[in-house]
Structures are given as C-alpha cells and as structure tokens.
C-alpha cells in the first residue's frame, strides 16, 4: 500500500506503542485517527500534530460503532487499522489464601485485548470494503492486531493476558481468509518487552530481570521499532496472515 495521504486508525494511540505508531504514520504523510479512553494524554502528546481523537472504549460494541461512524464522517474512508489498545493485568489463578480469584479480571482482559481488537477490526473491515482498489495489488486495506510473546511463553500470573494474546494470534489467519477476496490483509505483531508506560511502570528490578531474558540487543524494545514494523507491513503487500515476533529473541523462562 502506498500510505501517503491515506487514512489510518490507531487504537490505544494516546500512549506507548500506539502513540509511537501514530507519529510514524503522520510522518509518512498519513491522516491519523485515534481511538482511546485517555483524552488528556492525547491532548498532551499531540499538541502540534494533526491527529483526530475519538473517545472510544474498544471493548464496547456501540462505542466502536459510533466511533467508526464519526471517523467516516471526518475522513470518508479508512485504509489501515492498527489495534494497540490493551491492558496487562497480572493475577495468579489462586490467591494467597488458596481461593479461586474472581472471574471478572480474566473477563476484562479478554474483553479489552481480544474482543476489543475483533470489535474494532470488524467495523474497520466494513469501512475498508468500501474503498476503491489500488492499482498495484487490488488492495483495499490492512488490519494489524497487537499480540505479545506472552501468547507463546506466558509467565506466572498471565493466564488472562496470555489467553487474550493467544486469541489474537489464532484469529490472524481466519480473519485474513475472511477478508482476502476484498483485498484486505490481516497481520499481527507479537512484541517482547517494549519501553512503554505499561512496562516502565514496573519496578526497575522486574525490568532488569525481564531484560536478562532478551538475547540481543539486550535492552527493552523501542516503541518506534514497533511503529516501523507496522509501517513496513502496510507498504509490503505480500505480508499477509502473518504474526511477527518483535522481541530480540526473548524466550521467557518458567519462573
Ligand atoms: N509494552 C510492552 O512491552 C508490550 C509487549 C507486548 C505486547 N504489548 C501490547 O501492546 C499494546 C500496547 O501496549 P503499550 O505498552 O503501548 O500500553 P500503554 O498502556 O502505554 O497504552 C495502551 C493504551 O490503550 C488505551 N486503552 C486501554 N484500554 C482501552 C479501551 N478499553 N479502549 C480504548 N483504549 C484503551 C490506554 O488508554 C492507553 O492509551 C497492548 O495490547 C499490549 O498488550 C505491549
């Protein structure tokens, strides 16, 4: 896809990976819409940038439908959708007393990370389907969902998070197959440990322990590295139904 002047939606674009991605796409000449809950962070981060904010809860059916309708009113079309909105709760299946934890925390992670991504993707695909095809590849659009290496190597306390990200990995191929005849591609990126507020909020000791599992380069990933991969996926039409790990070859140990 030639991205210049086309329209991109970035969910979770007020912070972290979504923020870095939106900035790279703006620099590449795209028009950018953000779906996020945090308007204050958006106002802070996009002071001199021409992006449009829509207050949308990705886990809510009508909130996403209303947001997509507002995006259509503003931009008329959509070519690239990058789902970065997400949460990373950590809870063992049993609490310290040995009791089963309440179900609500598990359900919330699935609702935001997995159902939220599908919720946005379904509405994004419907809007992309209205695009005229581009000349080179008869392409109409691309959806990128954000998984995690936790889809493969979940840590203690990550049942909900890993399940939500495993779902992202698993739905990549069927979603790409569903949309192939419309010229819409679907990919996912599975980041390792990236230097965003989600990770930087952890105690330094925990960050250091995580970095010790990275093979090379031995550091947190830069959010811009995620953003550049997303842009490359947009520009390279032959990458489809693919989940790419972006992780410095990290493989998480059992404990
Ligand atoms: N940071 C990492 O190391 C890492 C690693 C692997 C995967 N990921 C995934 O990448 C994605 C982005 O993570 P990040 O590190 O940039 O996090 P972040 O906390 O910096 O940003 C997440 C953004 O999502 C928004 N958000 C949360 N719930 C929402 C909802 N219901 N509706 C709309 N917006 C909502 C938040 O307001 C925030 O702006 C997440 O899906 C996360 O699981 C992150």
Token digits of residue 93: 């299946």
Residue nearest to atom 30 of ligand 1 (CA): 57
What percent of the chain clears pLDDT 70, i.e. is strictly above it?
A: 100
In the chain, the domains with their CATH numbers are: 7-242 (3.40.50.720)
Mutate-to-test residue for ligand 1 from 9, 10, 12, highest number of ligand atoms within 8 A of CB: 12
Q: Which residue has the CA at smallest separation from atom 40 of ligand 1?
A: 86
For the question of residue 161 being annotated catalytic, the response is yes
CA distance linking residue 140 with residue 181, whole number of Å: 10
Averaged pLDDT score across all residues of the chain: 97
Q: What is the mean pLDDT of residues 137-144?
A: 96
3-state secondary structure of 149: helix
User: Where does the pLDDT of residue 6 fall: very low under 50, low under 70, confident under 90, or very high at 90 and above?
Assistant: very high
Is 146 in contact with 83 (CB distance < 8 Å)? yes
Q: Determine the average pLDDT of the residues in 149-155.
A: 96
Q: Please report which confidence band the pLDDT of residue 129 belongs to, taking 50, 70 and 90 as the band edges.
A: very high
- Determine the distance separating the centroid of ligand 1 and the alpha carbon of 73, expressed in angstroms: 26
Tell me what pLDDT residue 245 has. Answer: 98
pLDDT for 12 beyond 80:
yes
The pLDDT, as a whole number, for residue 184 is 98
The minimum-distance atom of ligand 1 relative to the CA of 223 is: 16
Considering the candidates 46, 152, 161, 222, report the single residue annotated as catalytic. 161
Nearest CA among 15, 172, 26, 32 for reference residue 84 = 15
Confidence of residue 254 (pLDDT cuts 50, 70, 90): confident
Token pair of 137 as six digits:
């590849």
* Ligand 1 centroid, distance to 113 Cα (angstroms): 9
pTM of the model: 0.98
Tens-digit pLDDT profile for residues 72-87: 999 999 999 999 999 9
Distance from Cα 85 to the centre of ligand 1, integer Å: 4
**In whole angstroms, what is the distance from residue 68 CA to residue 155 CA?**
35
Residue 57 has pLDDT above 90, yes or no: yes
196/33 Cα distance (integer angstroms): 20
Using the predicted structure, report yes or no on whether residue 136 has a pLDDT greater than 90: no
Statement: residue 174 has pLDDT above 90 = yes
Helix (H) or strand (E) holding 7: strand 7-11
pLDDT band at 67 (very low <50, low <70, confident <90, very high): very high
pLDDT band at 134 (very low <50, low <70, confident <90, very high): confident
Whose CA is closest to 63, among 95, 37, 97?
Answer: 37
Nearest CA to ligand 1 atom 1: 194
Q: What is the pLDDT of residue 118?
A: 99
E strand or H helix at 66, and its extent?
A: helix 61-75
Q: Per-residue pLDDT for 255 more than 80?
A: no
Task: Give the whole-number percent of the chain exceeding pLDDT 90.
Answer: 94
Q: How many CA atoms lie within 13 A of 106 on its CB side?
A: 11
Q: What residues are in contact with ligand 1 under a 6 Å CB criterion?
A: 11-12, 14-18, 35-38, 41, 56-59, 84-88, 112-113, 116, 146, 148, 191, 193-194, 196-199
pLDDT band at residue 48 under the 50/70/90 scheme: confident
With 80 as the cut, is the pLDDT of residue 155 above it?
yes
User: How many alpha carbons fall within 13 Å on the CB side of residue 56?
Assistant: 33
CA-nearest residue, atom 32 of ligand 1: 57
Mean per-residue pLDDT for 18-24? 98
> pLDDT at position 187, please?
99
Q: Which two tokens stand for residue 100?
A: 């089963």
pLDDT of residue 119: 99
pLDDT digits (tens, 9 = 90+) for 22-43: 999 999 999 999 999 999 999 9
């Amino acid at each position: 896809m030639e991205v210049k002047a086309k329209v991109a939606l970035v969910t979770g674009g007020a912070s972290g990976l979504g923020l870095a991605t939106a900035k790279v796409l703006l620099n590449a000449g795209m028009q950018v819409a953000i779906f996020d809950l945090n308007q204050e962070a958006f106002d802070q981060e996009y002071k001199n940038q021409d992006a449009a904010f829509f207050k949308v809860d990705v886990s809510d059916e009508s909130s996403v439908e209303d947001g997509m309708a507002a995006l259509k009113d503003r931009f008329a079309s959509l070519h690239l959708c990058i789902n970065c909105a997400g949460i990373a709760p950590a809870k063992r299946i049993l609490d310290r007393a040995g009791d089963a934890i309440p179900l609500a925390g598990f359900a919330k992670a699935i609702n935001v990370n997995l159902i939220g991504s599908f919720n946005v993707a379904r509405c994004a695909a419907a809007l992309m389907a209205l695009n005229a095809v581009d000349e080179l590849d008869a392409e109409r659009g691309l959806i990128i969902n954000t998984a995690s290496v936790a889809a493969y190597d979940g840590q203690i306390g990550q049942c909900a998070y890993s399940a939500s990200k495993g779902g992202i990995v698993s739905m990549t191929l069927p979603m790409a197959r569903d949309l192939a005849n419309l010229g819409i591609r679907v990919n996912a990126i599975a980041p390792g440990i990236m230097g965003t507020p989600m990770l930087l909020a952890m105690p330094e000791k925990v960050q250091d322990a995580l970095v010790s599992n990275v093979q090379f380069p031995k550091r947190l990933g830069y959010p811009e590295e995620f953003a550049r991969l997303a842009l490359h996926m947009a520009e390279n039409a032959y990458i489809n139904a693919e989940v790419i790990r972006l992780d410095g070859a990290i493989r998480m140990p059992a404990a």
